[in-house]
Amino acid sequence: MSIRFSFDTSIERSDDEIDLRVVYSVTPYVAATYWQPAEGGEVEIISVRKDGLPFVLTDAEEAALLTECEERAQGDLANEEAEAADWKYQEYRDRLLDASALGEGERS
């Protein structure tokens, strides 16, 4: 299962600095087990846009952006996991508070 992320960056072409929006996907790495080989860890550029329109990169620019995506991937995955854990905790806390409020209402 791949997860998509996006970020803004800029590249230089000639003397121009071009602002881009990059969307990329990451397949989380799964370590090998006795029964299953390691898998995942792939990073792929999905789209590159300038002002909302597709932007064509040279091979060197694409390689540089892919490297940037690979460098960002672990941090983006860690942030995604932290947000998911925070959401789970908030949901758990809300259920406890709701159950507590229902229990107090029945005692009255």
Enter the tokens of residue 62: 């694409």
Phi-psi sector, 52: left (phi>0), alpha (psi -120 to 50), beta: left
- Kindly state the helix (H) or strand (E) to which residue 27 belongs, with its residue range: none
- Scanning the structure block, which residue is given the tokens 């002002």? 51
Distance CA(105)–CA(88), nearest Å, equals: 26
Q: Give the number of other Cβ atoms within 10 Å of residue 41's Cβ.
A: 13
Give per-residue pLDDT as tens, 43-70. Answer: 999 999 999 999 999 999 999 999 999 9
Closest among 41, 31, 44 to 74, alpha carbons compared = 41
Distance CA(29)–CA(52), nearest Å, equals: 31
Give per-residue pLDDT as tens, 2-26. Answer: 899 999 999 999 889 999 999 999 9
Give domain limits for the chain: 3-107
Q: Say whether pLDDT at 108 is over 50.
A: no
**Mean model confidence pLDDT for the chain:** 88
pLDDT average, residue stretch 86-98: 86
